[in-house]
């Protein structure tokens, strides 16, 4: 159910009063309020600590009774169905247990009436709920993102927890003790929940439901894939070469593809901590879309700067076999000159919009719906500041939400804003979102967009992986 302040009744206002989503009175003292504030300082912060050993959130000690805590534009809360706090994006979740209790009571109130609470709109704030018993996930946001986009983000946070525990283990634990404190089991992995919150603010792959591929010549990508394919051993399920946010190549069995959301969790695993860069690692991981009931085991090793090899096996005792595969792959890549600076590492930076030869084009996102992949150029002027980049991301999110709205979906959308002119274009084969200068006319935008599509089609085999190789090809 979606409710507005005018229809929620007294119980809704009790909830709002408890969370204090109100405008403070003049000269009032600081209090525990998630509120619309008159201050010019609001935070949609992505600044988190990377101290994995004894990890402490950058905002972990932030007092929820201060204006700094309430000024954050987007909060995530995770609690158990019994009301036990599990995670809060900002501050110490144990100190806001009263808020968690109210959230649990509000959800239960609607459940007792055979209803499910999905969203509350309260002024600038959206309260978005994702109910995955025994877990409840809540986002409180005034970032301008839509209900569906925020719920998708909650879904990724849920998947992140499943990747650490598996659905079967978590269900079994709460069946035995419904008031179990899950923080004891996920302790030390909060860094990945924090990094996921950061990544979802900046990486458009989550919004598009697609994977970004590293732009490189198809011939080089095929050579790298062939090296991985020839190194196959029996316990190896997936062989992946990637950067922290871009896929270079992926080898798989013919009968097992990899879902984009599972790859997003792998990207988050790499970008969430720098500890994997220093040594070989062997870690259990559950890929929820592949199988949410059991663990796979991932061998992680950086073979060059920002280039990681990830080998996934169902056999927990196959570390040394995976290490041998890595060594063979590295030797073959070096022998073929593919790890040299003139080859693989040369392509680690995104291309620029100038490469398209379209002067008025500032930035674009192109998604191949057939391949579930996307490409985008490097963010350059006027998107060099964090504020400008976040504004552009919000523009993309607004365009995406409006065009995919269930009540009235659109195939083409032209939007003129204060800072840029935007075009959204959706067909059965692709989605295109492009940013131009604010004074560009509609006819010029259409002309430049057609030129961009022609350029993408010409470069498509370098921008995307058009034929994902399988191990069977190299038998």
Question: With bands split at pLDDT 50, 70 and 90, how would you rate the model's confidence at 4?
Answer: low
Average pLDDT over residues 117-146: 93
Query: Which pLDDT score, from 0 to 100, does residue 1 have?
Result: 59
Report yes or no: 118 and 2 within 8 Å, Cβ to Cβ.
yes
Q: Is the pTM of this model over 0.85?
A: yes
- In tens, the pLDDT along 374-420 reads 999 999 999 999 999 999 999 999 999 999 999 999 999 999 999 99
Query: Which pLDDT score, from 0 to 100, does residue 58 have?
Result: 65
Q: What mean pLDDT value characterizes the chain? A: 86
Average pLDDT over residues 52-60: 57
Q: How many CB atoms lie within 10 A of CB 335?
A: 10
Q: What's the CA gap between 432 and 262, in Å, rounded? A: 24
Residue percentage of the chain with pLDDT more than 70 = 85
Report yes or no: 376 and 204 within 8 Å, Cβ to Cβ.
yes
For residue 157, pLDDT beyond 70: yes
Nearest Cα residue to 15 out of 28, 3, 1: 3
Query: Which pLDDT score, from 0 to 100, does residue 169 have?
Result: 95
- In tens, the pLDDT along 410-467 reads 999 999 999 999 999 999 999 999 999 999 999 999 999 999 999 999 999 999 999 8
Average pLDDT over residues 83-98: 88
Q: What's the CA gap between 120 and 147, in Å, rounded? A: 9
- In tens, the pLDDT along 360-373 reads 999 999 999 999 99
Element (H, E) at 107: helix 97-111
Provide Rg for the chain, Cα atoms: 24
More confident residue, 294 or 62: 294
Query: Which pLDDT score, from 0 to 100, does residue 42 have?
Result: 46
């Amino acid at each position: 159910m979606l409710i507005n302040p005018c229809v929620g009744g007294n119980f809704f206002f009790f909830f709002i009063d408890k969370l204090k989503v109100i405008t403070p009175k003049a000269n009032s003292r600081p209090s525990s309020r998630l509120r619309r504030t008159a201050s010019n300082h609001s935070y949609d912060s992505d600044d988190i600590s990377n101290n994995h050993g004894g990890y402490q959130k950058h905002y972990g000690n932030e007092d929820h009774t201060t204006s700094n805590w309430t000024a954050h534009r987007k909060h995530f809360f995770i609690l158990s169905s019994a009301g036990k706090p599990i995670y809060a994006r900002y501050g110490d979740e144990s100190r806001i247990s009263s808020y968690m209790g109210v959230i649990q009571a509000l959800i239960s109130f609607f459940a007792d009436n055979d209803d499910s609470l999905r969203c509350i709109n309260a002024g600038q704030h959206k309260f978005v709920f994702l109910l995955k018993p025994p877990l409840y996930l809540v986002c409180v946001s005034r970032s301008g993102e839509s209900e569906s986009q925020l719920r998708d983000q909650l879904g990724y946070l849920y998947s992140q927890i499943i990747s650490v525990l598996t659905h079967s283990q978590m269900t079994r634990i709460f069946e035995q003790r419904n008031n179990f404190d899950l923080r004891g089991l996920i302790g030390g992995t909060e860094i990945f929940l924090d990094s996921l919150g950061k990544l979802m603010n900046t990486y458009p792959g989550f919004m598009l439901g697609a994977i970004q591929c590293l732009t490189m010549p198809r011939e080089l990508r095929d050579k790298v894939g062939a090296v991985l394919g020839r190194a196959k051993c029996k316990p190896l399920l997936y062989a992946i070469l990637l950067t922290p946010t871009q896929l270079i190549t992926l080898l798989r069995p013919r009968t097992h593809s990899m879902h984009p959301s599972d790859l997003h969790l792998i990207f988050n695993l790499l970008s969430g901590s720098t500890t994997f860069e220093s040594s070989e690692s062997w870690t259990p991981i559950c890929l929820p879309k592949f199988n949410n009931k059991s663990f796979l085991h991932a061998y992680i090793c950086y073979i060059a700067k920002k280039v990681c090899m990830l080998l996934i096996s169902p056999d927990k005792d196959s570390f040394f076999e995976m290490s041998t595969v890595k060594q063979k792959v590295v030797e073959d890549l070096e022998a073929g000159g593919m790890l040299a600076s003139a080859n693989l590492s040369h392509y680690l930076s995104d291309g620029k919009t100038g490469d398209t030869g379209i002067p008025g084009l500032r930035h674009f996102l192109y998604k191949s719906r057939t391949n579930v992949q996307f490409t985008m150029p490097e963010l350059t002027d006027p998107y060099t500041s964090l504020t400008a980049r976040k504004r552009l991301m919000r523009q993309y999110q607004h365009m995406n939400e409006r065009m995919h709205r269930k009540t009235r979906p659109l195939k083409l959308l032209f939007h003129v804003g204060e800072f840029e002119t935007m075009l959204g274009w959706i067909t059965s084969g692709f989605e295109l979102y492009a940013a131009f200068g604010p004074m560009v006319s509609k006819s010029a935008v259409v002309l430049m967009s057609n030129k961009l599509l022609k350029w993408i089609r010409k470069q498509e085999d370098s921008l995307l992986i058009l034929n994902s190789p399988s191990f069977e090809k190299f038998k």
